[in-house]
């Protein structure tokens, strides 16, 4: 077996709050292969963003309390801060939801795109700037040489996100983590950015982790999908399988609760009752059981582990692990 590009093992990140310790990421394990597109979906507070930040070691004030993040076999939770800065610049890049707050408003855009090249590849200012202009053109900024002189506020939301992606690509990283890259954008601009990310993946072979709450985005973009709920992975597998035959009641219910553009009949939506749990006061057993329509007695007692259910899908559910099917009751 070859080593995966990125191997996350039993990652646990906690936050200390007045109300108690919040287990934001609670034993997350997954692998990312070179060139692959992986989606992580879940609602706010499910731990998807903290997982990404922990991989980048940007989780502060949270603490990584256990687990490994192996990048090509090397555990990057253990490397020094200086080494981590190199890795961040060169091997893993991250783009964020809101390009307005994640770019520096007082520096010209071109310069911000060029900065990693100066810092990590020792290019001269002129050469770095030329590369930056080239990249801005590649991500679809019109008249890149002129626009590189603009400040971020002179860009529209979609253009800022393009510039962010250019920034992420400067050092040709092997892993690109995109945290809700299109959530702040309008749908037609979202379509442009997703198209760009698809092309980046194809052209540069960059393995992409796409974090989103939008199941439609994952359906169109990702080969594999991970579903998170209350700090844990509840289901993972090939996207087509997860969507066609979900093996966790949360995934199952979520897919049925959304109105779809291609719905023919008007019926009340199958809403998931109740609320996502508070992370300081999790229910006993499976965290989803109070909202689950398939729950059995065991679910409120024991925490289910993520196990193989079916051919290549993992699910943390006593019901499906017991061989039962998820069907409308």
Partner 1 sequence: MAETARAHVTRAWTASEPMVSVRGLKVWFPVASGVLQRTVAHVHAVDGIDLDIMKGETVGLVGESGCGKSTLGRTLIRLLEPTAGSIHFKGEDITKERGERLRARRREMAMIFQDPYSSLDPRQTVGDIVGEPIDIFELAKGKERQDRIYELLHIVGMNPRFADRYPHEFSGGQRQRIGIARALAVDPTFIVCDEPISALDVSIQAQIINLLERLQSKFNLTYLFIAHDLSVVKHISDRVAVMYLGKIVEMAPGGELYRRPRHPYTGSLLSAIPIPDPVLERARERLILQGDVASSVNPPTGCRFRTRCPGAREHCAQAEPPLESFGADHLAACFYPLEAS
Q: By CB under 8 A, is residue 214 in contact with partner 1?
A: yes
Q: By CB under 8 A, is residue 114 in contact with partner 1?
A: no
What region, left, alpha or beta, does residue 125 occupy, with left being phi > 0 and alpha being psi -120 to 50 degrees? Answer: alpha
Q: By CB under 8 A, is residue 191 in contact with partner 1?
A: yes
Q: From residue 284 to residue 323, what is the string marking binding to partner 1 with x (rule CB under 8 A)?
A: -------x--------------------------------
Which CB, 263 or 302, lies closer to partner 1?
Answer: 263
Would the CA dihedral through 175, 23, 9, 319 be positive or negative? negative
**Do residues 56 and 92 make contact, with C-beta atoms less than 8 angstroms apart?**
yes
Q: Most distant CA pair in the chain: distance in Å?
A: 67
Least distance between partner 1 and beta carbon 125 (Å): 30
Determine which residue in the list 18, 266, 327, 328 makes contact with partner 1, applying CB under 8 A: 266
Q: By CB under 8 A, is residue 262 in contact with partner 1?
A: yes
Least distance between partner 1 and beta carbon 71 (Å): 28
Tell me if residue 151 falls in helix, strand or coil: coil
Q: Dig out the tokens for 185 from the structure.
A: 């954008």
Tell me if residue 212 falls in helix, strand or coil: strand
Determine which residue in the list 135, 159, 176, 286 makes contact with partner 1, applying CB under 8 A: 159
Distance, in Å, from the CA atom of 157 to the CA atom of 154, rounded to the nearest integer, reads 10
Burial of 159 (0-12, 13-18, 19+ CB in 10 A): buried
- Helix, strand counts (H, E) of the chain: 11, 12
Binding piece for partner 1, criterion CB under 8 A, among 76-84, 160-168, 238-246, 302-310: 238-246
Q: By CB under 8 A, is residue 78 in contact with partner 1?
A: no
Neighbours of 293 (CB within 10 A): 13
Q: Please, what's the b/e burial string for 215-224 (b: 16 or more CB within 10 A of its CB; e: otherwise)?
A: bebbbebbeb
Strands 63-71 and 207-212: unpaired
Q: By CB under 8 A, is residue 269 in contact with partner 1?
A: yes
Determine which residue in the list 271, 281, 311, 329 makes contact with partner 1, applying CB under 8 A: 271
Residue 226 phi/psi, 5° resolution? -115, 130
Q: By CB under 8 A, is residue 268 in contact with partner 1?
A: yes
**Do residues 84 and 57 make contact, with C-beta atoms less than 8 angstroms apart?**
yes
Q: By CB under 8 A, is residue 34 in contact with partner 1?
A: no
Which CB, 112 or 192, lies closer to partner 1?
Answer: 192
Helix 157-169 with 187-204: angle, nearest 10 deg: 10
Q: By CB under 8 A, is residue 257 in contact with partner 1?
A: yes
Least distance between partner 1 and beta carbon 254 (Å): 6
Q: By CB under 8 A, is residue 251 in contact with partner 1?
A: no
Least distance between partner 1 and beta carbon 144 (Å): 15
Site for partner 1 (CB under 8 A): how many residues?
A: 47
Q: By CB under 8 A, is residue 273 in contact with partner 1?
A: yes
Map the footprint of partner 1 across residues 194-213, applying CB under 8 A: 194-195, 213
Strands 175-179 and 92-95: parallel
List residues binding partner 1 (CB under 8 A).
Answer: 43-44, 156, 158-159, 186-192, 194-195, 213-220, 239-240, 243-244, 253-255, 257-264, 266, 268-273, 275-276, 291
């Amino acid at each position: 077996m070859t080593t995966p590009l990125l191997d996350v093992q039993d990652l646990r990140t906690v936050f200390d709050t007045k109300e108690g310790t919040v287990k934001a990421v609670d034993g997350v394990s997954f692998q990312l292969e070179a060139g692959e597109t992986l989606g992580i979906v879940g609602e706010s507070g499910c731990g998807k963003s903290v997982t990404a930040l922990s991989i980048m070691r940007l989780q502060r004030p949270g603490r990584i309390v256990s687990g490994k993040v192996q990048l090509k076999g090397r555990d990057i939770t253990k490397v020094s801060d200086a080494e981590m800065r190199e890795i961040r610049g060169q091997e893993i890049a991250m783009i964020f939801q809101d390009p307005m707050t994640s770019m520096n408003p007082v520096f010209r855009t071109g310069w911000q795109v060029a900065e990693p090249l100066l810092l990590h590849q020792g290019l001269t200012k002129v050469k770095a700037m030329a590369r930056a202009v080239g990249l801005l053109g590649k991500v679809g900024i019109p008249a890149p040489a002129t626009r590189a002189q603009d400040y971020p506020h002179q860009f529209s939301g979609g253009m800022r996100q393009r510039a962010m992606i250019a920034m992420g690509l400067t050092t040709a990283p092997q892993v690109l983590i995109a945290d809700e890259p299109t959530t702040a954008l309008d749908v037609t601009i979202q379509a442009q950015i997703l198209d760009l990310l698809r092309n980046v993946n194809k052209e540069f072979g960059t393995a992409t982790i796409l974090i989103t709450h939008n199941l439609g985005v994952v359906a169109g973009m990702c080969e594999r999908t991970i579903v998170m709920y209350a700090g844990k992975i509840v289901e993972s597998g090939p996207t087509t399988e997860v969507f066609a035959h979900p093996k966790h009641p949360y995934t199952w219910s979520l897919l049925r609760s959304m109105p779809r553009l291609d719905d023919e009949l008007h019926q009340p939506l199958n809403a998931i009752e109740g609320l996502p749990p508070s992370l300081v006061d999790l229910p006993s057993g499976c965290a989803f059981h109070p909202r689950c329509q398939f729950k059995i007695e065991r679910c409120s007692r024991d925490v289910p582990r993520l196990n193989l259910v079916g051919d290549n899908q993992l699910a943390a559910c006593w019901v499906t692990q017991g061989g039962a099917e998820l069907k409308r009751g």
